[in-house]
Amino acid sequence: MALSSSSLCSHLSLVRICGFSINRTSYSLYSPYVSRQTRLPLGRQNYSTSKVRQGIGRYVSSKFQLVNTKYEDFLKKRFPRFYLLHHTLLEGFRFLFRDANEVRRIKSKLYNERLHYKDLPYREMEKLRQFRRDLIKAVPLVLISIPPFANYIVFVLMYFFPRQVLIPHFWTPQQQVTFRGIYHSLRAQHFPSVLRGLEHSNSKVKDRSLQKRLKDLCAKVQNGSNPQVMEILGVRSLFSGPPLGINRLHSEQKRQLSRLLFLTPHLPSFVVGRRLSSHALELLHLDRALSRLGPHQLSDTELRQACYVRGLNSDSLNANQCHDWLSQWLQVSMTLKDSEVSLLLHNMVLLSTNYPQRSKQH
């Protein structure tokens, strides 16, 4: 690097000396005609200066790229695991800045066109939702890195605890699949508790016909079968008021449902209920936007992400199975009113609990 700096300085010095000598010589030779031709030499001098600056920029850029390439080659050969982390971090920051610019554009669109969140297209709505969740997770890491020399601690945390510390932008493709599986297994642990909450609420249903439908629905899921869409919609009226409306649920039921959305249950009951209602409405608006777009328009990555957000471990299924499951989900979701979002949350358990087992049987 020292040789590079000295060579750069020598180049600059040579250019300045040559430029000064040429200008001075030309001035002495053509001094009788200076009054007519003053602007021409000045124009040429400015043009040459801009050329010199462009040349310096290209020179510095090429040197930087060369050093960076050698550094990455060194890491790749001597420390391959560290190189993978280094490369993933660089790509992650690039994706993060790209998403930040996209989110800024979407928010400007909302403000300038006086739109509401529910009026956005599906992909823009999903981008805002996911970026907000990623940003919340990234804030603690940023705060930890503020003190001097704390970046070394952050780097260690990122290396040994990537799932807990990093957001998906900084995960490798293999880590994304692995971590989604881990998160889904943590979510699926609460499926039985949600079903038990439905059974407990069944005793509060006054209509005998609805009571039997709900009992049969819970029993079908607990026995390892997948319910039909019409069976789920047959009890939808129970989820708009007592006993299963979003504001009528028991506090423990709210906490179990919060875990399905990866929301913390360790808050006062009214706060948990308010956050649960907000996220459920957000998911319902997302479903409506997806229905307008059409699930067939999604790429394979978008399809799997859509299923994962709604409670399914999509990495264990093929694309056709994901399409089949998502179409069933939308058949339920598109018939619901805003006051029936409690059924949308319970549907994460009803449709997802046994769907992989059924796919294996076929």
Domain chopping of the chain, boundaries:
2-78, 80-170, 188-361
Whole-number pLDDT of residue 135: 87
150-166: average pLDDT? 79
Residues with Cβ within 8 Å of 332's Cβ and at least 6 positions away in sequence, in order, are: 229, 232, 233, 343, 344, 347, 351
Q: What is the pLDDT of residues 109-145, one digit of tens each?
A: 999 999 998 999 999 999 999 999 998 888 877 777 7
SS3 43: helix
246-274: average pLDDT? 94
Mean pLDDT rounded to a whole number for the chain: 81
pLDDT-derived band at 154 (thresholds 50, 70, 90) equals: confident
Dihedral angle over CA of 157, 163, 167, 170, nearest 10: 80
Q: What is the pLDDT of residues 161-216, one digit of tens each?
A: 889 888 888 888 888 999 999 999 999 999 999 999 999 999 899 999 999 999 99
pLDDT-derived band at 52 (thresholds 50, 70, 90) equals: low
Q: What is the pLDDT of residues 281-304, one digit of tens each?
A: 999 999 999 999 999 999 999 999
Q: Residue 16 and residue 18: Cα distance in Å, rounded?
A: 6
Whole-number pLDDT of residue 136: 86
Q: Residue 220 and residue 188: Cα distance in Å, rounded?
A: 17
- Is residue 67 scored above 90 in pLDDT? no
Q: How many CA atoms lie within 13 A of 17 on its CB side?
A: 6
Task: Indicate the pTM of the whole model.
Answer: 0.76
